[in-house]
Amino acid sequence: MPAPKKPPMNESGESSGIALFLVIAAMTMLAVLVTEFTYVTQVNSRLAYDGLDQIRAHYVAKSALKISLLRLKAYKSAKGMMGQGGGAGAAVGAAMGITPGMLDKIWSFPFIYPFPELPGMTMTQKDSLKKFQKESGLPGKFTANIDSESSKYNLNSLLQAYVPAQPPPPPAPGTNPNPNPTPAPTPSPSASSDPKAQQESLGQFLSDIMKNRFETDQDFAVEYRDFRIEELVDNIIAWVDRTYQARPSGAAIDYKPKKAPFYSLSELHMIPKMDDKLYDLFSPNLTVLPTSGINVNKVNKVTLMALVTGMTKDEADLFFKFRDATDQDNLFKETENFFKYLQQNVASFHNSSSEINTYKENLKKRGIVFIVEETSFKVTVQAQVGNATRLIEAWVNFEESANPNPGSGGNPQPGTNPTPVPTPTPITSNTNPLEPKKNSPGLKITYMRML
């Protein structure tokens, strides 16, 4: 048998370690490459899942928005069926104990998904709830809130075109309010409003909000004790009114006013003299959505005290305790009821009808209208799937139908002339008789943004 070959020796007679070094180096490089490939694969996988979660969150938020619009539509339909203006529907609603406050819960109650388990639910109800959520196939979670937008002061009311129409005066007692009714004309801005008074009204409104804050926050009072609110109001007016000439302040102006109505409330950040603290103070009480007035049944404490100059904190607390009572329905059915409450419960009016009439005239000059029905809303949806979130904000108005269908049934009111049924429009080549007629949903989204 031939003798085995010996490994090569170096000059000193020792075995060479070059092969072992090459093997170790190759294994190290392979380990680094495998680690890098694994990391890149995990990152790409995570990005793919995050992208999928973003898409899911987007459509979950859109579904929540549609549910919110459905709630508003249901509220409007229920309100019409109950006949808030009177009639058999109102009588049935009163007999069943249904109040306007109960109808408001259709839209004002927060909507949360997955549905939380409420105290007092039985095991069967809990199991049914879990089964429904499992079979719904809706991933993630969301919250949908609908807030009143008519409870705020409208910044765009500085312009005459956006001043709410004044309601007609109430009929004199013992007279027929409208023996021969005619179709109501399109509402137009009140001619009794005074542009200068409207501008002064905004300054008074913001000034009263700051004064109320001074009484509760000493640090805020020290920081803004030398703040000149008239300069801020002057800049706001110059931002929207193209005919307004700003007062010379002595400081260099490094911005160009928009000279157009506010499109979004966030534009206030571009107004000189407006910082983040003031924005956080004023913005909850302001809106830029065209509204029909300020809803006294939804107005908050800060806005109310700024609109009713002379109302004390104790009087404001008593007002909300009365209005929001849970044991009885104290919501104002007419604006006159609100003025009567102020006359009898606010000391600055001295229980005098002349003082209230003076206050009403002042409101007209300022372009401020009080209403008792909500027609403008803000929908806020927050959806989350995994680590992805999506926020949708939408401002919604009720659309009033111009002319109801006279052939839809119903008896005319006594003393009125029924509207003749119009002649049907002949079908031409441009119309499709099989195509269903599209009816207005009664809702209009005036502005929406996704974040």
For residues 79 and 380, the model is more confident at 380
The helix/strand/coil state of 82 is: helix
Are 265 and 422 in contact by the 8 Å Cβ rule? The answer is no
Order of strands across the sheet that contains 443-450: 111-113, 141-148, 376-385, 388-398, 443-450
pLDDT digits (tens, 9 = 90+) for 139-151: 889 999 999 998 9
Q: Is the pLDDT of residue 67 over 90?
A: yes
Q: For the chain, which residues make up each domain, given as ranges?
A: 153-168+190-371
Distance CA 241, CA 243 (A): 5
Q: What is the mean pLDDT of residues 56-69?
A: 93
The helix/strand/coil state of 178 is: coil
Superfamily of chain region 153-168+190-371: EpsJ-like (1.10.40.60)
Residue 33's pLDDT is: 85
Task: Return the beta strands (E) in 4-150 as ranges.
Answer: 111-113, 141-148
Residues in the chain: 451
Buried residues in 367-380 as b, exposed as e (16+ CB within 10 A): bbbbbbebbbbbbb
- Structure letter (DSSP) for residue 226: T
For residues 136 and 213, the model is more confident at 213
Label residue 158 exposed, middle or buried (CB < 10 Å: 0-12, 13-18, 19+): buried
Q: Is the pLDDT of residue 436 over 70?
A: no
The whole-model pTM stands at 0.71
Q: What is the mean pLDDT of residues 105-122?
A: 87
Distance CA 436, CA 383 (A): 34
Q: How far lies 383's CA from each of 105, 129, 141, 387, 388, in Å?
A: 22, 20, 6, 10, 8
Q: How far lies 7's CA from each of 17, 47, 323, in Å?
A: 11, 53, 102
